[in-house]
Structure 1
């Protein structure tokens, strides 16, 4: 794998982790919302990644792969029912349907995505340093 392919792979991973962070932020922002703009409770979303092959012609062994977000899925876990009969969105039995967002899981996901992003930044910086040192050998 060429040292230049590292930038392509790390760049695709950073883009994917950025999208993952946006989805986590959306989930956390709507964790306490009883309804969304469409009148339904918010459903948590999860990011699904897929690998993508390298750009043809850049790697003769075609060993470099990147990553991208293939889909953003709605979480199918059941919604939370909270007993609050005075709430304006309560049903006849006094329960309010709240989003199926688990705040603890979302925070862990946010930390994981943030660290993955930072690891890719570090990898790109290391590759850049190696390339610069390689160029300075010839001077």
Structure 2
């Protein structure tokens, strides 16, 4: 069998092949899950803290917020080198998102977070499709609850209406705590995946 005099070095990227190796890609997917669940926990904590706020900067009761997650693509993945989101990670531009990435930004105004329109995500897409999840997860935005909130009869409250009812945010602290526990479990699962992948890489270096 003839031997080619010039061979491609095994450790250098092959032209046309993705630079991120499978093991590092696994760590990137897990890291995206950690970042997303971290922001989800922050939003849940904000909801619980403002469960009794009857007057915000706009004079209206606080509106419950939910983090909308979507499967990241090759163009929106934060931990995929070469994408706009990944390049922004090292940018010096100020950002209010998780890990300083605009991919996790929420539009803000002088009075606080601004509600954004979140499109309905299609369930279509295969493993290699736009919603395949092979690039991890990203925060699509933060949506505000459009409900009217609950009415509580408190005639002596400063924000009571003519009938003596006060409009409170539509927040059930029990449900928020359940969501917080769910986010915590998913955060821990992604952290375990990241730790396992790191251990496998360390073991591969010792071979």
Q: TM-score, normalised by structure 2?
A: 0.60
CA distance in 1, matches of 2:71, 2:182: 18
CA distance in 2, matches of 1:53, 1:84: 50
Q: Displacement of 1:53 after TM fit?
A: 2.2
- Structure number with the higher helix fraction is 1
Decide which of 29, 32, 38 is 1:9's aligned counterpart: 29
Match of 2:64 in 1: 44
User: Which blocks of at least 5 consecutive residues in structure 2 are unaligned?
Assistant: 1-20, 75-79, 83-126
Given the alignment of the two structures, is residue 97 of structure 1 paired with residue 176 of structure 2, yes or no? Answer: no
- Structure number with the higher strand fraction is 1
Given the alignment of the two structures, is residue 35 of structure 1 paired with residue 60 of structure 2, yes or no? Answer: no
Decide which of 154, 164, 181 is 1:111's aligned counterpart: 181
**Larger Cα Rg: Structure 1 or Structure 2?**
2
SS at match of 2:23: coil
CA distance in 2, matches of 1:30, 1:56: 38
More displaced stretch, 111-120 vs 69-78:
69-78
Given the alignment of the two structures, is residue 134 of structure 1 paired with residue 204 of structure 2, yes or no? Answer: yes
CA distance in 1, matches of 2:47, 2:62: 8
CA distance in 1, matches of 2:148, 2:178: 20
Q: Displacement of 1:85 after TM fit?
A: 0.6
Q: Displacement of 1:33 after TM fit?
A: 1.3
User: Which blocks of at least 5 consecutive residues in structure 1 are unaligned?
Assistant: none
CA distance in 1, matches of 2:81, 2:158: 58
CA distance in 1, matches of 2:186, 2:47: 19
Decide which of 37, 40, 43 is 1:23's aligned counterpart: 43
Q: Displacement of 1:56 after TM fit?
A: 7.3
1:36-79, Cα deviation, whole Å (9 max, x unpaired): 1221100101111011124378xxx9672211110111113330
SS at match of 1:65: coil
Q: TM-score, normalised by structure 1?
A: 0.88
